[in-house]
Chain A
Amino acid sequence: MIKKEVDLTPEERAMLQGSSGEAASKAMEIIMALARVYGARKLVPVASAQIAGVSYMNLGDAGLEFLLEWADAGAQVCIPAMLNPAGMDLTAWQSLGIPRSFAHKQRMVVEVYTAMGIQPTCSCTPYLAGHVPEFRQHLAWSESSAVSFANSVLGARTNREGGPSALASAMVGRTAEYGLHLDDCRLAHHKIDVRCSISSLSDYGALGYLVGQRVSNGIPYFCFRDAPWTGTTWGVGELPPEPLISGLKLLGAAMAASGAVALYHVDGLTPEARMGDMLASDAKIMRIDDLSKGYSALNSPVNNIDLVSIGCPHASLDEIRWVGELLDGKQITSDLWVTTSRNTREEAESQGLVECIEAAGGQVVADTCLVVSPVKMLGYHSLATNSAKMAFYAPSHVGLQVRFGSLEQCIQEATTGKWE
């Protein structure tokens, strides 16, 4: 038993001692240990949990065994909880060429989570699939880009949880109060003075790549000289309009990949920056005059592209629409995966967008992401993407050579077979 140093409520103490069963007691132990590691004084209720450790490729048999054991011990979630992307489209896996043995294990993983009461929303963009956190709401989310979006764009509060700790939080409805749950820890210590213009979605990613590399796990505060959203406003706690939502999603995802940025502010735009001064007085200043270094670092000299990947993080409905518009009346020569949440795919299907992309030879793939799918088994060697996060991870995680550029360049590559 862990000694009491963290101030627990009687209910929390009872859960730790087993009042809600063995599994919940183990979950409390995990949260208590994190509280002690990070010096938290108490626990805080969380509104939802987003759980990583879903792809069988990353979990392996050990992870699956652990989940089965926990489920056997009576693990049940007590707050809304959803999953990170799985290693395949849970329904259309065969047409993607996913081996049956992999599919079997992957389905077992999702089934055991579902048995615990978790929604099988396998997505890195739960905020586009009906889970929009409220301003200042505490969460226990795992996926680094979702954590960044919830903290930065919506003003919710979550640290980046590991798979087991997010699951533990889902089971007891609490997390340790440290880090980004606290006001003092949300101030930016890096001012990013962006002097160049941002003219495409991939520019947000290139910018994020450069900033993440520099600030590591710090909090950046962006000041844009030439803000592309001038005149755009949205209510605190609401999703911003497109294309801003996709731009901010790609910016945050890139910073969480090249660095470990879990929160950023944008002067005059993000909710906390609109409501108060979020820039520390001793902030370091970083100036960005152009994005070419970001583009060159993320491009390998490859010209034969096997696969074009759009939707990292998962594509919004508008992104799917833009792909459809660019493909209209054309046929592609490379494979094309537009990855998205099941929910968004269904909306796209009802609007005829899936049909349009499929008519050109592409696929709209749900529940998964190339970084966590067994891409090597599918025989791909090179990839083009408009996501800096994907371009950053694809070489190291799945061994692909990468081209990184705008959505227009990616679709042009898919149709002409040439990267220009």
Chain B
Amino acid sequence: MKLRGRALVSGSAEGVALSSLEPIGFLGGVDPETGIVIEQGHALEGECVAGRILVFPTGKGSTVGSYTIYRLARNGVSPAAIINANGDAVTTVGAIIASIPMIDQVDVSLIRTGMVVSIKEDLIEVE
């Protein structure tokens, strides 16, 4: 399957999808040391975002979340890429300062956890 979105942060990446239909808030939602989702009751609680193609509708929560994304990257546990339905300011700014490829305007329900995904610029290939 091939999907085309909008490249908010250009780049290429490959990995296994970790997909959620719930928004993700990075500050307090993802542990910046381990990359594990720690928000209680979140669909991805306990999963690790490190090296994954992280797929979710949009971001939520504090603007400090941008720094959490940067911290994930510094600790080597950031996602390989981010795919959103609608990119929000917190996630997008975080992806820019952490240099994580990010694409939005994608029907995120089509990409499920475990699928192998590669992205290049605004193009997504799902195996």
Which chain A residues have a beta carbon within 8 Å of chain B's beta carbons?
1-3, 26, 29-30, 33-34, 36-38, 52-53, 58-63, 65-66, 142, 162-165
Stretch with Cβ within 8 A of A (4 or more), from B14-22, B40-48, B66-74: B66-74
Given known A1-B10, A58-B64, A59-B67, contact A37–B89 (CB-CB < 8 A): yes
Partner among B8, B63, B67, B97 whose Cβ is within 8 Å of the Cβ of A36: B8
Asked whether any CB of chain A lies closer than 8 Å to the CB of B32, the reply is: yes
B60 at interface, CB cutoff 8 A: no
Distance to closest chain B CB from A148 (angstroms): 16
Apart from the given pairs A62-B71, A163-B64, 19 other A-B contacts in the complex at a CB distance below 8 Å: A2-B8, A2-B10, A3-B10, A30-B97, A33-B87, A33-B96, A37-B8, A38-B89, A52-B63, A58-B64, A62-B32, A62-B67, A63-B70, A65-B71, A66-B67, A163-B66, A164-B66, A164-B97, A165-B93
Structural contact, B63 and A60, CB atoms closer than 8 A: no
B64 with A165: CB separation less than 8 A: no
- In the bound complex, how far is the Cα of B101 from the Cα of A238, in angstroms? 45
Contact B6 A36 (CB under 8 A): yes
Interface residues of B in 54-81 (CB under 8 A from A): 63-64, 66-68, 70-71, 74
CB <8 Å contact, A26 and B96: yes
Instruction: Give min CB distance, B91 to chain A, whole Å.
Output: 9
In the complex, the answer to whether A33 meets B70 with C-beta atoms within 8 Å is: no
Cβ–Cβ < 8 Å partners of B125 in chain A: none
B9 at the interface (CB under 8 A from A): yes
Cβ-defined partner of A60 (8 Å) among B6, B71, B93, B104: B71
**Distance of B111 from chain A, by nearest CB (Å):** 20
- Kindly list chain A residues whose C-beta atoms are within 8 Å of the C-beta of B88: 37
Residues of chain A within 8 A (CB-CB) of B118 are none
**B89 pairs with A34, CB closer than 8 A:** yes
